[in-house]
Amino acid sequence: MSVINFKEANCRNCYKCIRYCPVKAIKVNNEQAEIVDYMCIACGRCLNVCPQNAKTVRSDIEKVKAFIKKGDKVVFTIAPSYPALVGSGRAFKFLNALKSLGAEMIIETSVGAMFISKEYERYYNDLKYDNLITTSCPSINYLIEKYYPDLINCLVPVVSPMIAVGRVVKKVYGNEIKVVFIGPCLAKKVEMNDFSCEDAIDAVLTFEEIIEWLDGDGINIDSREEFTDCVDTMMPFKLYPIEGKTIDCMDVDLNLRKVVSVSSIDNVKDLLNDIRSGNLHGYWIEANACDGGCINGPAFGRSNSGVVKRKEEVINYSNTKANFINDISNMIDCSVDFTRKFINLSDKWKMPSENEIKNILSKIGKFTKEDELNCGACGYDTCREKAIAVFNGMAEPYMCLPYMRGRAETLSNIIISSTPNAIIAVNNEYEIQDMNRAFEKMFLVNSTMVKNENLSLIFDISDFKDVIENKKSIFNKKVSFKNYGIIALESIYYLEEYKIAIGIFTDITKMEKQKEAFSKVKRENYQLAQQVIDRQMKVAQEIASLLGETTAETKVILTRMKDMLLNQGDDE
């Protein structure tokens, strides 16, 4: 499982994480950002800038709770930057709150800083090393191992204070002890499993996680008593999290080397490029991924104070007279190996040919050098850099926002301009904002001449007034525009967000005329049918009358004949 990544549901294709990632270790797949572990340096910058708060960080809270529930002895080692989190005046109460979670012992990680400072001194004084870079910051170590492997020899082969404390605790108290580091750094979650660092630390909690745990258990820091039974050390090791204070922890001749402190990955990359170019020699370099040092770590949690105030809190705490210094002689006397190895972790991208780059760029309408805007909206500094990322499967071709916007606008314009329906947009003051060609043709106007003019110059606007004032749309209302000889179906929609009313008119004049012509034919056919019926009825009546007369005459004649025959028989 990755230590840090993004929630799939919340990614919104803003590419802000890519823009801020100093090593472009973020892959976009099916419009979803993913952190590529083997490229990531765990600086946490991408997660802190995500506008959707789409970050996921592996939490060790349940793991530590399981240690305590099982009955394991748990040691908390807390980064000396914690006064910047809770304030120097609450620091001892905060330690008490931590103890109440079930820790057997609390050791300030400044103890580890004391151990590795002694190791640093040996390398500082050995002039067979040209430039040397401190190795307390795991993100800087990963940056060099993955992207500057040729400079691995500049890394001082010594563990970080966190690993140093873990090794000492397990050496003194036994390997069954569970050591849990608490600090503001996400990279520590990765470092605990590093090659040559394994088994020193059993879990890592960020300041964010520890506050979450305290809040979840209903532990109020301010209600606790002050706790001074913390294993720690003295000045200047307590100032280790502040940028530039590493050298103060070392007893060395400052004239032997050029000493500098560099913070933020961008500045460190510039420095590494200078070393690679052969421009720097004889330097001792304190390198920090976070601007200002560890007091500005990515997992610091909620804090209303900036770097300057945090620095002040750490300094104030380090000068507190009530600060109790435990006897750590049993730790100092133990024999522990603080060395570590750094290895080449680079995985170079495949470099596409010039034709392959041009082919990728052509897919997003970039055919010439002038088409390459290099705007950085996709997260990459240049269009070519993004094309190389596409070639390596790290990006998608259509991440180019100017291209997608232009394409969307072009398609929209094509649809709107080619539709036979007349479309017009007016603002709340009934001023014409835009119209399509069909509207110009239907109402005999020129858009450039009437833009920003009142719609009443063209036709009656009572329907638009009704829609804008009542925020109620009209659908398929039949309207006759007598001045233009037009009958149309009118639909008017109000867009509240933009304060715009959109009118759509479908010309049904021809249809209405056809309907009228058909209606006229129906009326004429009806009249003809009625005339035929009337004539037929008249004829029928005349025939009936004639038939009635002849029938009566026949009856008289036959009656007479019958009487004659009867009478004749009787006479004979």
Provide CB contacts within 8 A for 562, sequence distance 6+.
none
- Supply the pLDDT for residue 398: 73
Question: What percent of the chain shows pLDDT beyond 90?
Answer: 52
Strand intervals (E) in 346-496:
422-427, 432-435, 474-481, 486-495
| 1-58 and 419-507 have identical folds | no
Spell out, as residue ranges, where the chain has pLDDT lower than 70.
Answer: 1, 9, 12, 303, 321-330, 333, 403-415, 548-549, 551-552, 554-556, 558, 562-563, 565-572
d(CA 525, CA 554) in angstroms, rounded, equals: 43
β-strands 283-288, 132-133: how paired?
parallel
d(CA 94, CA 214) in angstroms, rounded, equals: 10
- Supply the pLDDT for residue 117: 94
Cis peptide before 184 (omega within 30 of 0): no
CATH number of 419-507: 3.30.450.20
- Supply the pLDDT for residue 572: 42
CA atoms within 13 A on the CB side of 152: 13
* Closest CA relative to residue 52, chosen from 14, 82, 19, 88: 14
Instruction: Report the top-level CATH class of 59-128+156-239+305-332.
Output: alpha beta
d(CA 106, CA 358) in angstroms, rounded, equals: 59
- Supply the pLDDT for residue 357: 84
* Closest CA relative to residue 120, chosen from 141, 129, 280, 242: 129
- Supply the pLDDT for residue 210: 95
* Closest CA relative to residue 289, chosen from 357, 227, 320, 243: 243
Per domain, the residue ranges of the chain are: 1-58, 59-128+156-239+305-332, 352-416, 419-507, 525-572
CATH number of 1-58: 3.30.70.20
β-partners of residue 543 are none
Tokens read off for 572: 């004979």
Burial 405-426 (b: 16+ CB within 10 A, else e): eeeeeeeeeeeeeeeebbbbbb
C-beta neighbour count of 489 within 10 angstroms: 16
- Supply the pLDDT for residue 412: 58
d(CA 57, CA 79) in angstroms, rounded, equals: 19
Question: What percent of the chain shows pLDDT beyond 70?
Answer: 91
Please check whether residue 488 is in contact with residue 481, taking contact to mean a CB–CB distance below 8 angstroms: yes
Tokens read off for 440: 């110009």
* CA dihedral for 264, 268, 271, 273, sign (positive or negative): negative
- Supply the pLDDT for residue 406: 63
Provide CB contacts within 8 A for 441, sequence distance 6+.
422
Tokens read off for 239: 């100032």
